[in-house]
Amino acid sequence: MSSNSGSSTKWDVQRAMTDRAPLLHPLAGCDLDTYLSHLRFNSQFSERSLKQRILATAVVGLRQPFTALENLNWKARIRDYKLPNDPIFIVGHWRSGTTHLHNLLSRDPQFAFLDFGQTAMPHNLLSHNKLGRHFISKALPKKRGYDNVELAIEEPQEEEMALGSLNPLGYYSVYYFPQNMKQHFERSVFLNGTTEEEAAGFCHAYQTLAKKLSLAYNGKQLLFKNPPSTARITLLKELFPGARFIYIHRNPYEVFASSMNRYFRLMNVFAWQDFEDVDFEEMVFYKYRRLIGAYLDQRRKVPDTDMAETTYEKITEDPMGEIERLFDQLRIPNKKPGLEAISPYAEKKKTYKRNVHQLTQCQVDRIQKDWEFALKEWPYEIPEGIEVV
């Protein structure tokens, strides 16, 4: 059972700071210029991250010739390449079921998606870096630490980690450099406080990643999943005019409890700064208001034929019926073979066991106050799976 009371929260932070961090870090997937930009923009690195930083620096240096070679071989073709179809984006707040929906849809062979190895090494995506993938595969745990979702080198992954390796802006900097968490959130998700050059670089990175993935899979329909892009709907429509979106939402009480549990696991894995004094609870409240508020404002600018909504509850209770509806609304072709390919995975995941959480009465009261706008839009009640203490 995961408890989010004040005392247990403090204990979780202290445990995460004293736990041994894994040696492999996502910033090892940067090219040299992007890596140095991350280092210049941030400071006050923790002692516990020293081995990670040393290894990441070495890996970036060792990969640089291969990164330069891929750029030389593919730069002109990527520049001139036109996507046959603009991507489909799965969006929604963290812990709302985006991963589960992505895993379901990616079983349809008509879709191309980033796997873990590709999002970890986007500069070498077209080079099929077998040695790098081998080391990543060996270092990966079998399951994510904050839930029971399986991890494997070939499994679908969100694109945000790759974006932060292709350019200095990326939401994962929230985890890498938690001392400036709110600043990194605003810069990477909303491009607030960025220069024109930085914003243009981020947009170029997104388009380059999409082109690379499309080239790697011979023009297949791209399927992306990325919670930060929940607040980038209008931006993505500018970059990919034909883009379609699937937004998934979940009971906010469950989202809050699960988000708190997730932070401490990710800090242990990713943080290069100390995070003992970071107010994670405040950040959960803040990010939800900003992200969901932006989504509600932007969704009205997208036609219904390009924007579909679903819920975590529908996807877990009737995955095949709900996915069929999404196919129809978004005019996704090859529905029958797609559903046939998805069905075995959906059947397998019926036995998935969800975490159980606790909330304090103060947290419940604040959810009802701060997230009232969302509870009016989607009238959820406190679920039976959450204990209020």
Q: What is the mean pLDDT of residues 323-336?
A: 97
Q: What is the mean pLDDT of residues 145-166?
A: 81
Instruction: Give the pLDDT score at 349.
Output: 84
Query: CA torsion, points 341, 345, 350, 356, in degrees to nearest 10?
Result: -130
Q: For residue 183, which of 272, 257, 264, 286 has the smallest C-alpha distance?
A: 286
Query: Considering the chain, what percentage of its residues have pLDDT values greater than 70?
Result: 88
- Which of 11-15, 132-136, 151-155, 200-204 tops mean pLDDT? 200-204
**How many CB atoms are located within 10 Å of the residue 1 CB?**
7
Q: Of 123-132, 257-266, 356-365, where does mean pLDDT reach its minimum?
A: 123-132
Instruction: Give the pLDDT score at 265.
Output: 83
Model pLDDT for residues 121-139, shown as the tens digit of each residue: 999 999 877 766 666 666 6
DSSP-H helix ranges across 23-177: 32-41, 50-80, 98-105, 116-120, 130-139, 160-166, 173-176
Instruction: Give the pLDDT score at 228.
Output: 98
Burial class of residue 184 in the structure, from the number of CB atoms within 10 Å of its CB (0-12 exposed, 13-18 middle, 19+ buried): buried
Choice between 147 and 247, residue whose per-residue pLDDT is larger: 247
Q: Which residues contact 143 (CB under 8 A, 6 or more apart)?
A: 149, 150, 151
Which residue is it, tokens 């516990």? 48
Instruction: Give the pLDDT score at 31.
Output: 97
Model pLDDT for residues 167-225, shown as the tens digit of each residue: 999 999 999 999 999 999 999 999 999 999 999 999 999 999 999 999 999 999 999 99
DSSP 49: G
Token pair of 129 as six digits: 């870096």
Kindly give the pairing relationship between strand 111-112 and strand 221-225. parallel
Model pLDDT for residues 272-307, shown as the tens digit of each residue: 999 999 999 999 999 999 999 999 999 999 999 999
Burial class of residue 372 in the structure, from the number of CB atoms within 10 Å of its CB (0-12 exposed, 13-18 middle, 19+ buried): exposed
pLDDT beyond 50 at 5: no
Model pLDDT for residues 103-115, shown as the tens digit of each residue: 999 999 999 999 9
φ and ψ of 302, to 5 deg: -115, 130
Instruction: Give the pLDDT score at 11.
Output: 41
pTM summary value: 0.91
